[in-house]
Amino acid sequence: MGLIQEIDYGTKPANAETLVSLTIDGVAVSVPEGTSVMRAAMEIGTQIPKLCASDMLDSFGSCRLCLVEIEGRAGTPASCTTLVAEGMVVHTQNERLGRIRKGVMELYISDHPLDCLTCSANGDCELQDMAGAVGLRDVRYGYAGDNHLDAAKDVSNPYFRFDPAKCIVCSRCVRACEEVQGTFALTIAGRGFDSKVSPGMEENFFDSECVSCGACVQACPTATLMETSVIEIGQPEHSAVTTCAYCGVGCSFKAEMRGEQVVRMVPYKDGKANHGHSCVKGRFAWGYATHRDRITKPMIRAKITDPWHEVSWDEAIAHTASEFKHIQAKYGRSSVGGITSSRCTNEETYLVQKLVRAGFGNNNVDTCARVCHSPTGYGLSQTFGTSAGTQDFDSVEQADVMLLIGANPTDGHPVFASRMKKRLREGAKLIVIDPRRIDLVRTPHVEAEYHLPIRPGTNVAILSAIAHVIVTENLIDADYIRERCDADAFAHWAEFVSQERNSPEALAATTGVDPELVRKAARLYATGGNGAIYYGLGITEHSQGTTAVMALANLAMATGNIGRVGVGVNPLRGQNNVQGSCDMGSFPHEYTGYRHVGTENVRESFEIDWGIKLDPEPGLRIPNMLDAAIDGTFMGLYIQGEDIAQSDPDIKHITAGLSAMECVVVQDLFLNETAQFAHVFLPGSTFLEKNGTFTNAERRIQRVRKVMTPKNGYEDWEITQLISNAVGFPMNYAHPSEIMDEVARLTPTFANVSFDLLDRVGSVQWPCNEAAPEGTPIMHIDHFVRGQGRFFVTEYVPTDEKTGPRYPLLLTTGRILSQYNVGAQTRRTENSAWHKEDLLEIHPHDAEQRGVTDGSWVKVASRSGEIALHAKVTERVAPGVVYTTFHHPMTMANIVTTDYSDWATNCPEYKVTAVQVSPSNGPTDAQRDYAELGRRTRQIEVAAAE
């Protein structure tokens, strides 16, 4: 297994259908019109020397190494900026070109350190390669002239170093920051010989606008921008392509290794979700895999107040099985269950639900998607017929208007945000509906046409108001609706939204948004060309989450914005495998592919394949499991890769439920918050240690490849298999590919999926079957999956969580770029340098009223509880709204959130909590107690010598 070398064609591909024929060094080649001479040459294997060119970037023409001669044209044009023409005759190498290139290289090297042997890029340096390619043998200028060799290194960024002494001013980093990432954090300062790469205003990288996405490091042809890990370890020697385990974008990376040590993660250009881009998490924040906090040995204890003691795998598995069997014997078959994780692979998720349904003999399986995107699944399946987003990410390139609601892509889905920004810079329009002024409202070179700063909890109202404008101003696509949608349902819906009480004016008091702004935004979405809806947890995590999803679907259908490239309803999924975990039958009422457990023939197919009778009744959802535990009827829970004690709302209720159980089994990398209430701890494996697949937000199934031996001894699916065998339901998979084969066998939408196919084509988007052998990028093209698209009446019902004199502010929660979810991984990396603690964002007006100053301790109290944290006074939030993240367990943000949830799916209402904020002296008693509890319940006995 060697290092995967990706070809750099020097310039981007051209999309034209017309082919142009030319001759390069006597070899005929035909390439699409608009291709550069450089790329055409590369197509036939001719590498023209280059330094400033990269096929990730627009051609620039500054290094002057790629000069060629073209018959009939004067001079020596740069092949990167010269486009092919019919009949062109190109010469890439002759005596004169050789001389000029050598002359240019001689100039470069006259201002470059000669420390190749000790340089971190030694062996992976384009400057070094090019010096070799042009045959530079001598630098006649000497090295005593003006130079930059004494420029100081910038080591402010924890993940990469900037050594300007080695910079050749090719601007690839600057261009990558602009074109690929869209942050514009870098520039060239000064001019001429004084030109130098400058983060911000010649600040260091950490203090600049840099978001540490790594695009500049990736683009740098020398050691000027270099990963700290490469500097410390050395160049990698083998690599494998795998899929990032952070957000739902699903970026492809090359894990570049030395032995079993990760040297770096490099975004993979052939990755169809990220096209070679990355963010600070996937690119750099993988250090948790080897963090000292990681638990690698199984542990058990009798009571949660006891210290843990390490045991062998055999003992741990046997103990687990016997506990569960004991509980089922005592409390009945339904007294145990399992929770799958959106962080684990499809195969692992599938096995957990199989264990519950076949091994435990009930349907008490649920997933963490319950608390994020369950309304998406339900809402979209009801309206369109499929529980998933309608588009691929590439579709955004053809969107003319983006309606972004309840999502903050620059923080939550940064790689996709970069693609949105690129399209917005090209002229697409953006409507943002969000209580906060998120970055996309206004960020360099991007400005939303309209920002509708709604009051938290009024999504359905604002969407009804928009629908009202579209219907009453006759901006609907009547032909589309007639051909594609259920007429009665449409008529019923149209009548409903047309009612005066749903007008922007009537709802203004509810939403807090200027009705004229609503009207303008509605008109833009309906008439601005391809309209694409992107949304996130700000839509789903509400008491009307499902209603809001349906309302979005209604808008898309009414305006004909479903079923082609550039449009659609696109959920931005939170975790890496939310889509996959839902697809894999993690819900208590559904098998794989969203088929109800009560459906006879479906259940039969599983019964035959698994050779066991299955329960036709849906099982318990997570909140119901906890309720049942408190009631004394649910006593054993197997939790794989999920931390409900931090991520789920109303922690007091969660912990009470967990504490009531007799056997809680936690399988995770770390002693997470939930593990404080566990009796068995099974150490899990990281995504680097296993084979499998993840399915991203665009339904794309991608391979996860093992690049190191599991530190805990087993891949997660193997642990599940061991438990299943121990409880008496035999499983005998030798490799996750066999699990996927079973999924494909049992699931029509996955019929064609196999590891072989994925290895061959890279990735596929489901449905992937006979009808679509290599997958389906865009859904509902000719007709909706459910037949006719169905409009649903979306009556706005205010949440019961209301502000009042005692709790006058609305708290909403979300996340930030550098941290991920409950932070279990990112907090164990250098990412904490950017976000050491959760802060409460509060508007200056509200802060002033309460005597709260920037950086001071504040207490946030709700009907559920109270926490304390530091305040950040900012105008990003509107008056009356406060905001925090939930990345740090000590914040215990979910003490404050309520137990209200979505009417259809129980997805919790994280996004709206009435609170009061007041100055405070420090952590609350509850937070202090919790810290103490954490200390006590995490004690591990020193293992006796074996």
**DSSP classification of residue 25:** T
DSSP 172-232: HHHHIIIIII----EEEES-GGG-EEEETTT--TTTSS----SHHHHH-SSSSEEEHHHHH
Those residues whose C-beta lies under 8 Å from the C-beta of residue 788, and which sit 6 or more positions away, are 484, 485, 486
Residue 52, both tokens: 């400033």
Residue 302 burial by CB count (10 A; 0-12/13-18/19+): exposed, middle or buried? Answer: exposed
What mask, x for binding another protein by CB under 8 A, covers residues 444 to 463? xxxx----------------
**Residues forming beta bridges with residue 154, ordered by sequence position:** 162
Q: Tell me which stretch binds another protein (CB under 8 A): 95-103, 329-337, 429-437, 904-912.
A: 95-103
Q: Which of 22, 31, 38, 63 binds another protein (CB under 8 A)?
A: 63
Q: Which two tokens stand for residue 316?
A: 């741990």
78 touches another protein (CB under 8 A): yes
Nearer to another protein, 234 or 444 (CB): 444
Q: Does 96 bind another protein (CB under 8 A)?
A: yes
Does the footprint of another protein cover residue 415 (CB under 8 A)? no
For residues 892 and 897, give the distance between their C-alpha atoms in angstroms, rounded to a whole number.
10
User: How many whole angstroms separate alpha carbon 524 and alpha carbon 449?
Assistant: 9
Nearer to another protein, 100 or 612 (CB): 100
d(CA 820, CA 210): 18
104 is a site residue for another protein (CB under 8 A): yes
Minimum CB distance to another protein smaller for 184 or for 733: 184
Which C-beta is closer to another protein: that of 75 or that of 922? 75
Pairing of strands 429-433, 252-258: unpaired
Q: Is 631 in the site for another protein (CB under 8 A)?
A: no
Binding residues for another protein restricted to 145-184, rule: CB under 8 A: 145-146, 168-169, 171, 183-184
Q: Does 204 bind another protein (CB under 8 A)?
A: no
Under the binding rule (CB under 8 A), the answer on residue 937 touching another protein is: no
| 3 state SS of 242 | strand
Helix (H) or strand (E) holding 249: none
Q: Name the one range near another protein by CB under 8 A: 92-100, 275-283, 496-504, 571-579.
A: 92-100
Q: Does 189 bind another protein (CB under 8 A)?
A: yes
Nearer to another protein, 98 or 851 (CB): 98
Q: Is 191 in the site for another protein (CB under 8 A)?
A: yes
Which one among 40, 83, 661, 707 touches another protein, defined by CB under 8 A?
83
Residue 98 touches another protein, criterion: CB under 8 A? no
DSSP H/E element including 404: strand 401-405
Nearer to another protein, 2 or 75 (CB): 75
Q: Which of 71, 98, 99, 599 binds another protein (CB under 8 A)?
A: 99
57 binds another protein (CB under 8 A): no
Of these, 11, 35, 54, 62, which contacts another protein (CB under 8 A)? Answer: 62
Please return the burial class of 2, using the count of CB atoms within 10 Å of its CB with bins 0-12, 13-18 and 19+.
exposed
Q: Which two tokens stand for residue 871?
A: 């305040």
| In the complex, least distance from residue 209 CB atom to another protein, rounded to whole angstroms | 5
Which of these ranges, 137-145, 149-157, 313-321, 717-725, lies near another protein under the rule CB under 8 A? Answer: 137-145
With CB under 8 A as the contact rule, the residue among 87, 123, 132, 190 that binds another protein is: 190
- Hey, what amino acid is at 479? D
Contact 97, 91 (CB under 8 A): yes
Please identify, among the stretches 201-209, 342-350, 633-641, 844-852, the one whose residues bind another protein according to the rule CB under 8 A.
201-209
Quick one: 59 or 831, whose CB is closer to another protein?
A: 59
Tokens 């259940």 found at: 603
First to last CA, the chain: 37
- Residue 23 binds to another protein (criterion: CB under 8 A): no
DSSP secondary structure of 505-538:
HHHHHHH---HHHHHHHHHHHHHSSSEEEEE-HH
* Residue with Cβ nearer another protein (140 or 292): 140
Minimum distance from CB of 410 to another protein (Å)?
A: 14
**Nearer to another protein (CB atom), residue 202 or residue 314:** 202
Is 198 among the residues that bind another protein (CB under 8 A)?
yes
**Toward another protein, which CB reaches closer, 232 or 426?**
426
Task: Look at the block and give the residue holding tokens 């190749």.
Answer: 116
Tell me which of 21, 195, 874, 918 binds another protein, using CB under 8 A. 195
Distance, CA of 465 to CA of 555 (rounded, Å): 11
Question: Whole-angstrom Cα distance, residue 755 to residue 347?
Answer: 11
- Which letter, b or e, does each residue of 673-697 get, where b requires 16 or more Cβ atoms within 10 Å of its Cβ? bbbbbbbbbbbbbbbbbbbbbbbbb
Q: Applying CB under 8 A, does 66 fall inside the site for another protein?
A: no
Calculate the CA 446 to chain-centre distance: 21
**Nearest-CA neighbor of 5 among 68, 38, 47?**
47
The correct pick among 22, 41, 67, 578 for binding another protein (CB under 8 A) is 67
Q: Cβ(892)–Cβ(884) under 8 Å?
A: no
Residues in the chain: 946
The binding track of 549-568 with respect to another protein, each residue x by CB under 8 A or -, is --------------------
Q: Tokens 């290139």 sit at which residue?
A: 101
Among 199, 338, 566, 908, the residue binding another protein under the rule CB under 8 A is 199
Nearest CA among 767, 788, 821, 770 for reference residue 388: 767
Question: Nearer Cβ to another protein, position 78 or 311?
Answer: 78
Q: Least distance (Å) from another protein to the CB of residue 36?
A: 11
Cβ contact 640:918 at 8 Å: no
Rounded to a whole number of angstroms, the minimum distance from the CB of residue 85 to another protein is: 11
Write the Ramachandran bin of 701: left for phi over 0, alpha for psi from -120 to 50, otherwise beta. Answer: beta
Decide if residue 93 touches another protein (CB under 8 A). no
Q: Which residues bind another protein (CB under 8 A)?
A: 59-64, 67, 75-76, 78, 80-83, 96, 99-100, 103-104, 106-108, 110-111, 140-141, 145-146, 168-169, 171, 183-195, 198-202, 208-209, 442-447
